[in-house]
Structure 1
Amino acid sequence: MIYNFDLGADGQLRTGFKGYNLSSEVEYVYGESEERITNLGERYSIALDKVIAHDDEVVFSYTTDKEHRERALLISYLAPELNDQYRLDDLTISVVFLISKNRLTVITKRRVASIIRVLTGLHLTHTDNFAIETALEVMKNSFAIMIDELRGLKIKIDELEKKITNTRLVVPVFSNLLSLQKYMLSLTSTYKTDKKQVDSLRTYFKNGDGEDEEINNTISGIYDRIETMDSIALTYSKYLNKIDSLINNISSYQLNNIMKTLTEISIVLTVPTIIYGLWGVNVPLPFEKNVFGMLLVVLISIILSIIVWAWLRRKRYR
C-alpha cells in the first residue's frame, strides 16, 4: 500500500491519493511484497526487502538515485510496535527513510498507524529541508510513544506489587515480572540504538546546512526525550530488580516452610515407627496377652505423636 502526501505552499502536508505518484513530496510505502519496494530497491541499488525485514539493526548510508542521478540518504531506525503478549521479536519494527533533495520515502514491512498520523497535516516551517524535518518529526513521535509506554509500565509494576502482596504466589508473579523485564529490555535497547541514528542525522545536517533553527530544535527535543527515557528506564529497572529480589526471597521462604513441614512430618512419623519396632521384638512385652493389646499400642503411638507434634509447634519449628 502507498500513501502520498503533498507539500502545500503554506508548508503543510496534505494527504494525496493512494498509489504511486511521482509528484508527491512524501511517500509512505508498506508491505513486504509491495512492488514499489522492489522498484525502489533497484532504483537505489539497495536490498530494501532485507533492510525492512531486520527489526534488530539499523542502517545509515549514502546511495545514488539512478533515475535522477542525485545523491540520497538511506537511514533506518527501530520504532516500537506494541503488543500485549510482550513477544520480544514483535516489539519493534524497522522504519526506513530514503531522503533526497525533493522527496522523502518512508518504508515499513507493516502498516504503522502512528506514522500516518504524524504525516497527515504536519506543518513544516522551512520547506527547503522538508525531507529531513519530516523524518525527524516521525522519529520524534516514535520516541514520544516509547516514553508513554515506559510511563505506562508504572501501572503494570504497581499491579505486580499488589499481586505479590495479596497472593504470595510466586509462579504467576514471576512470569509477569519476566514479561515486564523483556519489555523494558526491548524499549531501552530500541531507543539507545535510535539515538545513534539521531547523532548521525545531526552530523549529516551540520555538514550540509546547519542553520535551520527548526531542525536544530527538533533534534534538541529528541535528545531531551532520550534523557527522560534514560531517567525513567533507570528508575524502573532498579525497581524491577528489587521486585525480582523480593520474589526470590518469597520463593526461598516458601521453600523453607515446605522443608520444615516435611521435616516435622518425618519426625512425628518416627514416633510410631519406634514404638511398633519395640513392640515387635520377640521378648515378653506389656499388653502381650491383652485382647486389646494392639489397639493400646496404636493409641499410645498416636498420643506420643500428638505430644511430639504439639511440642514442635510450641518450639515454632513451622
Structure 2
Amino acid sequence: MITEKKFGNGDNVWINIDSDQIASDSELYKQYGIDNEIISYALDKNERARIEYNNELKTFILIYNVPQKKKDNHHYEAIPMTFLIKNKQLLTITNSGNDYIIDYMEKYLQNNADSSVYKFLFSSLFLITDKFFPVIEEMNSERNQINDMLKEKTTKKNLLSLSDVETGVAYFISATKQNTVLLEQIKTNVIFQSLNDVEKEQWEDTLIEARQLVEMAQLTSQVLQQLSGTYNNILNNNLNDTMKILTVLSILLTIPTIVTGFFGMNMPLPLEHNILGWMIAIGISLIGWFGLSFVLRLILK
C-alpha cells in the first residue's frame, strides 16, 4: 500500500502510494500533504504529462508518461505517473499499469544511496524514458513479421495487425513528445535555479534521452506509414486489375449475345433453312470474339 525508503544519508525520504489499494478519499493522502486536486491528477489515466509548482506549499508536481508492459486492445499505450516533491520528500503515486517502475527505482537507490531528491527524480525519469525503447523495438519486430506475412498474402487479418502496431506507435509518439516538452519546461521553472550541477547534468541526460526516443518513435511511425501506403497501393492495383478483367469479359460476352440475338429475331433471316446455320452463327461469334480480343489487347497494352 505505502512504502517508505530513506536515502541521501537518511536526510531524504521516498514514499510510494499504490492508488489501486488506497481509496481516493483516504485520509492517508492528507497525511503527506496531497490535496484532492493532486489526487485527481494522479488517478486520471488520461492526464497529460506536465509540471506544476505551488509557491504557497512549496510543492513541485510532475506527471510523466510511462509505457505499459502489456498490450491493451492489441496495442501498447502509455499511462501517467505522478511525482511530488516537498522539502526533502519525494512521493510517487502508482497503479497496476506503472508500478513495475518502482522496482527499477529501488535498484537505482541501492547503488546510489547518496542521491539528492531531484537527482533521484531525474534519474527515475531517465529510467522511465529508457523503458520505451524495448517496446518500440518490439513494435519494429512485429512490423517486420507482419511485412513478411503480407508479402506472402495480403489478408485482412495481417492488415489489421499492421494497424494495431500503427496505433501503438501513435500513442507513443504523443506520450514521448509530452515527456520531452515537460523536461524542457523544467528549465524555465523556478525550481531549476535551485538545482546543483549534478542535478542539472542528470536533467540534461534525461532530456537528451527523451529527444532520442522521440526521433526513434517518429522514424518507426514513418516506416509504418510508408509500409501501409505501399500495401494500400497494392490493394488498389489488384482491384483495378480485377475490374479491368471483368470489364473485358463483359465486352467480349456482348459478341455472342449480338449474334444470337440477331438470328433469334422472329422474321425471315439468312441461313434460316440451312441445316448448318447454327454452326455458322457460332463461327461468326467466335470470329467476332477473337477479333475483339485482339483489338482490346492492343488498346490495353
Which TM-score applies when normalising by structure 1? 0.77
User: What does residue 28 of structure 1 align with?
Assistant: 16
2: CA distance between counterparts of 1:186 and 1:231? Answer: 14
Distance 1:45 1:2, change over 3 A: closer
2: CA distance between counterparts of 1:111 and 1:44? Answer: 21
Distance 1:185 1:54, change over 3 A: same
2: CA distance between counterparts of 1:156 and 1:93? Answer: 22
2: CA distance between counterparts of 1:227 and 1:199? Answer: 10
Q: Does 1:165 align with 2:156?
A: no
The CA deviation string for residues 95-145 of structure 1, in whole angstroms up to 9 with x for no partner, is 011211232211124352432222223233644x23x22222221111101
Decide whether the 8 Å contact of 2:173 with 2:218 is kept in 1. Answer: no
Distance 1:86 1:107, change over 3 A: same
2: CA distance between counterparts of 1:256 and 1:287? Answer: 42
Q: Can you give the 5+ residue segments of structure 2 that lack an aligned partner in the other structure?
A: none
Q: Can you give the 5+ residue segments of structure 1 that lack an aligned partner in the other structure?
A: 12-22
User: What does residue 245 of structure 2 align with?
Assistant: 261
Residue 269 of structure 2: SS of its match in structure 1?
A: coil
Distance 1:116 1:302, change over 3 A: farther
Residue 61 of structure 2: SS of its match in structure 1?
A: strand
Decide whether the 8 Å contact of 1:80 with 1:146 is kept in 2. Answer: yes
Distance 1:258 1:221, change over 3 A: same
Deviation of 1:313 after TM superposition, in Å, equals 8.3
User: What does residue 16 of structure 1 align with?
Assistant: none
Deviation of 1:261 after TM superposition, in Å, equals 1.3
Distance 1:76 1:230, change over 3 A: closer
Which residue of 54, 62, 66 maps to 1:79? 66
Structural mapping, 1:135-214, within 5 Å: 135-167=121-153, 169=154, 171-202=156-187, 203-208=189-194, 210-213=195-198
2: CA distance between counterparts of 1:141 and 1:95? Answer: 13
Decide whether the 8 Å contact of 1:4 with 1:24 is kept in 2. Answer: no
User: What does residue 45 of structure 1 align with?
Assistant: 35
Amino acid at match of 1:166: E
User: What does residue 120 of structure 2 align with?
Assistant: 134
The CA deviation string for residues 281-315 of structure 1, in whole angstroms up to 9 with x for no partner, is 23333553467866x47744774576368637854
Distance 1:165 1:313, change over 3 A: farther
Distance 1:32 1:84, change over 3 A: closer
Decide whether the 8 Å contact of 2:13 with 2:90 is kept in 1. Answer: yes
The CA deviation string for residues 62-107 of structure 1, in whole angstroms up to 9 with x for no partner, is 3489xxxx6322221211114335567x712110112112322111
Decide whether the 8 Å contact of 1:264 with 1:312 is kept in 2. Answer: no
Deviation of 1:253 after TM superposition, in Å, equals 0.6
Residue 229 of structure 1: SS of its match in structure 2?
A: helix
Residue 253 of structure 2: SS of its match in structure 1?
A: helix
RMSD: 3.4
Stretch moving more, 133-142 or 263-272: 133-142
User: What does residue 110 of structure 1 align with?
Assistant: 96
Aligned residues, how many? 295
Distance 1:36 1:178, change over 3 A: closer
Decide whether the 8 Å contact of 2:64 with 2:80 is kept in 1. Answer: yes
Aligned residues with identical type, % of pairs: 17
1: CA distance between counterparts of 2:64 and 2:244? Answer: 55
Which residue of 291, 294, 300 maps to 1:311? 294
Deviation of 1:206 after TM superposition, in Å, equals 2.8
Amino acid at match of 2:180: K
Amino acid at match of 1:184: V
Distance 1:301 1:312, change over 3 A: same
The CA deviation string for residues 236-289 of structure 1, in whole angstroms up to 9 with x for no partner, is 233223223312321221111111111022012211210121012233335534
Residue 46 of structure 2: SS of its match in structure 1?
A: coil
User: What does residue 95 of structure 1 align with?
Assistant: 81
Distance 1:170 1:308, change over 3 A: farther
Residue 244 of structure 2: SS of its match in structure 1?
A: helix
User: What does residue 60 of structure 1 align with?
Assistant: 51
